[in-house]
Structure 1
Amino acid sequence: MEPIAAENNSDNINNKESSFQFQTSTYMQKFRLYETLSNFYMIGRNKSRTYWRVLKIDRLDPSELNIREDSTIYTESECSELLRRVHEGNISTGGLKFVTTCYGIVGFIKFLGPYYMLLITKRRRIGVICGHNVYAVLKSEMIPLPNSTVNSSINDKNEIRYKKLLCSVDLTKDFFFSYSYHVMRSLQKNLCNNDPDQVLYETMFVWNEFLTRWIRKHLKNTLWTVALVYGFFKQTTLSVSGRDLKLTLIARRSRHYAGTRYLKRGVNEKGRVANDVETEQIVFEDVSDGLPIQITSIVQNRGSIPLFWSQETSRLNIKPDIICMCL
């Protein structure tokens, strides 16, 4: 038995523009991480290489998270000159060293010892929605912030255990994101309710909301982080009567009250139903830029029956009894 509570919603949209008017000139999608003995320097740029920003992360305090964003917008040559000066100023302690290329910060986390930074180091494009790329994670990396001379508790047994637990979460499986398209929302919401003041990271479908909360509130922007959605994304091209159509299927799984079958059932005290999933089917004609686009989106929600109930797992009983709880 798999209880389902579903709600259907559909809409047809004819739009003569390129659909979504996000600030694509300012969002960043490629980063380079450098280090000195005392700081990390993350350099971010936009796709057209006209917009460069610098993020400075302290490495000397093992217990606090100290991050400062340079308010200056640099050109490529200005940014290179800045890195050269940083290298010369730290030459006595080893200078400035390149660490890795990355494609966004997943978040910061602290267990018992130092803070760690989670980065996406490889990505793969898995689809395009009205000109906006959607990516999957191919590789991620967790980097301790303090340098080796400051970091004293990184080899603690419990610290290592917690790190292994976090690393067991495979970000390369069923996680996806976009820099310029709000993939955590349906097409209808993106077109009809594009409130610039809404904090989209706090929606139910962004799984790294907690990991990015501090840096988003501290910097008051989301330029350096990516919003990871967990579920399913598949896009294919169909040919119907000589016309090429893009068919996109997106399933977004809620981060609230999620879990395996039998262990998560019904509704919790906060009104969240178990394993809530929003499935969206988008179809649009694959035409060149500037031509009218006909696009349709159908959204369906499913989740566990919103009652207080459970089922005990048992290897002997294939169909365990349903237990209803009265509050």
Structure 2
Amino acid sequence: MASENESPRQQPRPSHACMQKFRLYETHSKFYMIGRDKTRTYWRVLKIDRLDPSELNIREDSTTYTESECSDLLRRINEGNRSTGGLRFVTTCYGIVGFIKFLGPYYMLLITERRQIGVICGHTVYAVSKSEMIPLPNPDVQTNMAYSMNENRYKKLLCMVDLTKDFFFSYSYHVMRSLQRNLCDNETGQVLYETMFVWNEFLTQGIRNHLQNTVWTVALVYGFFKQVRIG
């Protein structure tokens, strides 16, 4: 099997890099999320295990790729998994809202469509236009609990939360804090999620604690946001 871990090089994440668009792929055993920045110069890979029916196993590739290197990696992953169906594209997304577990498997919540609703100090603010909940385990390893009546009831309860109404986020501006505080300090990372204003703080806790970063997730704020031009 072609190695999925072969890396052309390792280098530190650029301080200005902010991943804003992602593509999710799947093989029989893993999900691969490919993230890139707005300028298409910074590419990273997140691997999520699909063979454990009840645990969350995530690993971030430490390599920073170029676009061509990332394409080559996906080609090699596809070739190495041909015997089990190869590599399949799942969806384009704009960030991970979080991971949730009821009685059975873990589910991944993704923003699959977004819309711009404003700009603060040059930083774009978005609202969620569409989201999707994807079960992590491969159907071959799912337990009966994943299809139980209680599991479906909890899933329906979560789906009653309409993320397309009154939720907003920004990749580069800390919308969970006041303008004054953002001007006074440059705090980044997990501390920004540890506030009552981040709706998905608990949902992102697992991936943030494991990876010790927040580059794959978005901090959703629930509230009212409206921007109008004066004059």
Report the TM-score when normalising by structure 1: 0.65
Counting aligned pairs with the same residue, the percent is 80
1:285 is aligned to none
83, 87, 93: which one aligns with 2:74: 83
From 113, 123, 139, give the equivalent of 2:114.
Answer: 123
Superposed displacement of residue 25, structure 1: 2.9
Counterpart secondary structure, 2:228: strand
> Alignment partner of 2:109: what SS?
strand
Q: CA deviation at 1:238?
A: 1.1
Query: Matched residues in 1 for 2:104 and 2:37: separation?
Result: 34
Contact 2:99 2:107 in 1 (8 A): yes
- The corresponding residue for 1:171 is 163
Matched with 1:180 is 172
Answer yes or no: is 1:232 the counterpart of 2:224.
yes
Higher Cα Rg, which structure:
1
Aligned match of 1:216: 208
Q: C-alpha displacement at 1:24, in angstroms?
A: 7.0
SS in 1 for 2:213: coil
Is it true that 1:139 corresponds to 2:124 in the alignment? no
Deviation of residue 196 (structure 1)? 3.9
Which deviates more from structure 2 when the two are superposed, residues 207-216 or residues 144-153? Answer: 144-153
CA shift for structure 1 position 193: 2.5
Q: In the alignment, is the contact (CA less than 8 A) between 2:189 and 2:213 conserved in 1?
A: no
Note if contact 1:24-1:180 (Cα within 8 Å) is conserved in structure 2: no
Q: 1:1-327 residue pairs with structure 2 within 5 A?
A: 25-152=16-143, 153-196=145-188, 199-239=191-231
Q: Take 2:75 and 2:63, find their aligned partners in 1: how far apart are those partners? A: 17
CA separation in 2, counterparts of 1:172 and 1:198? 24
Closer, same or farther: CA 51–197 of 1 in aligned 2, 3 Å: closer
| Greater strand share, structure number | 1
Deviations 1:90-122 (A, max 9, x none): 001100000000000000000000000000000
Report the secondary structure of 1:45's partner residue. strand
Between the aligned partners of 2:87 and 2:188, the Cα distance in structure 1 is: 37
Gaps of 5+ in 2: 1-13
| Structure 1 residue 198, shift from structure 2 partner | 6.4
**Contact map agreement 2:190 2:214 (CA 8 A) in 1:** no
Aligned mates of 1:32, 1:171 — CA distance in 2? 20
d(CA) in 2 for partners of 1:161 and 1:32?
A: 29
Tell whether the 8 Å contact from 1:102 to 1:119 is kept in structure 2 after alignment: yes
The answer for the alignment partner of 1:264 in structure 2 is: none
Residue identity opposite 1:94 in structure 2:
G
Determine the C-alpha separation between the residues in 2 that align with 1:188 and 1:194.
Answer: 12
Please give the secondary structure, in 2, of the residue aligned with 1:182.
coil
TM-superposed CA distance for 1:228, in Å, is 0.2
SS in 2 for 1:159: helix
- Give the aligned length: 217
Structure 1 counterpart SS, 2:209: helix
1:193-230 CA-to-partner distances (Å, cap 9, x unmatched) read 22346611011100000000010011000000000000
How far does residue 164 in structure 1 lie from its aligned partner after superposition?
0.3
Gaps of at least 5 residues in structure 1 are 1-22, 240-327
SS at 1:234 equivalent: coil
Structure having the larger proportion of residues in helix: 2
Structure 1 residues 12-55: Cα deviation after superposition (integer angstroms, max 9, x where no partner): xxxxxxxxxxx773110100000000000000000000000000
Counterparts of 1:136 and 1:172, CA distance in 2:
7
- Please tell me whether the aligned partners of residues 184 and 229 of structure 1 are also in contact (alpha carbons under 8 angstroms): yes
* Amino acid aligned to 2:113: K
| Structure 2 Cα separation of the partners of residues 195 and 222 of structure 1 | 13
Distance 1:70 1:97 in 2: 19
